Chains A and B, each alone.
Chain A
Amino acid sequence: MSVNALLRETAARLLAEGTVRLVVGWEKGTLPLRTTPLLARTAEQADRLVADATCDQNLAVYLTRFKDEKVALVARPCEARTLVEYCREHRASPDRVLAIGVPCTGMLSRRALERRLSGRLPAAGRLEGDLVICSGEDWEERLPLTDLLEPVCYGCRLPGADRYWRVLGESRPPAGDRYAELDRFRQMAGEERYAAFCRAVERCIRCYACRQACPMCYCPECFSDRSAPTWVGSSDDLSDTMVFHLTRTLHLAGRCVDCGACVRACPVGVDLRHLHLRLGREAEERFAYRPGLDAADRPLVATFRPDDPEEFIR
Chain B
Amino acid sequence: MRRGEAAVAGVILEHSELNRILAHVAGQARLWVATGEGEEAAFLPYRPGIPLRRGPGPTRRTAKEIFFPRTEALFTFHEADGKPRLEPAKVDDGPLVVFGLRPCDARALCLLDPVFEDPLWPDRLYGGRRARAILVGMACSQPSRACFCTSVGGDPAGEEGLDVILVALDDAYLARATTDRGAEWLEGLGFSPAPPEAEAAAARVAETARRALAAVPADGLKERLDGRFEHPVWDRLHERCLGCAACTYLCPTCHCFDIVDEGGPGEGVRLRNWDSCMFALFTLHASGHNPRMTGKERMRQRIMHKFNYYPERQGRPACVGCGRCVEICPVNLDLRQVIAELEGVEA
Contact = CB atoms under 8 A, between A and B. Distances in A.
B43 to A, nearest CB: 13
Contact of A121 (B145, B258, B262, B274): B145
Contacts of B69: 236
Contacts of B330: 57, 209, 212-213, 261, 264-265, 267
Contact of A265 (B244, B249, B286, B327): B244
Find the residue from B145, B243, B276, B336 having the highest chain A CB count within 10 A.
Answer: B145
A289 B201 CA distance: 65
A36 interface: yes
A144 interface: no
B245 A234 contact: no
Contacts of B258: 234
B145 A213 contact: no
Contacts of A31: 145-146, 326-327, 332, 334
B331 A236 contact: no
B56 interface: yes
A123 interface: yes
A249 interface: no
Interface in A216-249: 225, 227-228, 230, 233-237
Contact of A29 (B54, B279, B332): B332
A264 B54 CA distance: 24
Contacts of B274: 205
Interface stretch (B32-40, B163-171, B189-197, B313-321): B32-40
Contacts of B52: none
A119 interface: yes
A235 B271 contact: yes
Contacts of A234: 258, 260, 273, 275
Contact of A233 (B54, B262, B327): B262
B240 A209 contact: no
Given A35-B332, A228-B286, A213 B146 contact: no
A32 B332 contact: no
Contact of A267 (B39, B145, B146, B239): B39
A40 B279 CA distance: 25
A37 B70 contact: no
B222 interface: no
A155 interface: no
A36 B331 contact: yes
A268 interface: yes
Contacts of B260: 230, 233-235
A264 B250 CA distance: 16
A50 to B, nearest CB: 13
A61 B146 CA distance: 26
A209 B326 CA distance: 14
B242 A213 contact: yes
Interface residues of A, number: 42
B243 A212 contact: yes
Interface in B324-347: 326-328, 330-334, 336-337
A18 interface: no
Task: Identify whether the interface residues of B are mostly helix, strand, loop, or mixed.
Answer: loop
B300 interface: no
B28 interface: no
Contacts of A230: 260
A37 B326 contact: no
B7 interface: no
A2 B249 CA distance: 41
A208 interface: yes
A72 interface: no
Interface in B267-284: 271, 273-276, 279-281, 284
Contact of A119 (B38, B145, B279, B280): B38
A30 B262 contact: no
A207 interface: yes
Given A207-B276, A234-B273, A268-B61, A114 B38 contact: yes
A207 B145 contact: no
A40 to B, nearest CB: 11
B328 A267 contact: yes
A225 B284 CA distance: 10
A169 interface: no
Contacts of B250: 205, 207, 267
Given A39-B240, A119-B37, A30 B332 contact: yes
B55 interface: yes
Nearest to B272: A235
B71 A237 contact: yes
Interface in A200-214: 205-209, 211-213
Contacts of B64: none
A225 B332 contact: no
B60 interface: yes
A227 B145 contact: no
Nearest to A227: B281
Contact of A212 (B144, B212, B242, B281): B242
Interface in A175-209: 205-209
B89 to A, nearest CB: 14
| Interface pairs A-B: 6 shortest CB-CB | A265-B330, A209-B244, A212-B242, A267-B328, A36-B332, A235-B71
Given A207-B246, A212-B244, A213-B242, 14 more contacts: A30-B334, A31-B326, A31-B334, A35-B332, A36-B332, A206-B70, A206-B245, A207-B250, A208-B244, A211-B244, A225-B279, A225-B281, A235-B271, A268-B60
Interface of A: 29-32, 34-37, 39, 57, 61, 111, 114, 119-123, 137, 205-209, 211-213, 225, 227-228, 230, 233-237, 261, 264-265, 267-269
7 contacts: A205-B61, A206-B249, A209-B244, A213-B331, A225-B280, A227-B284, A265-B246
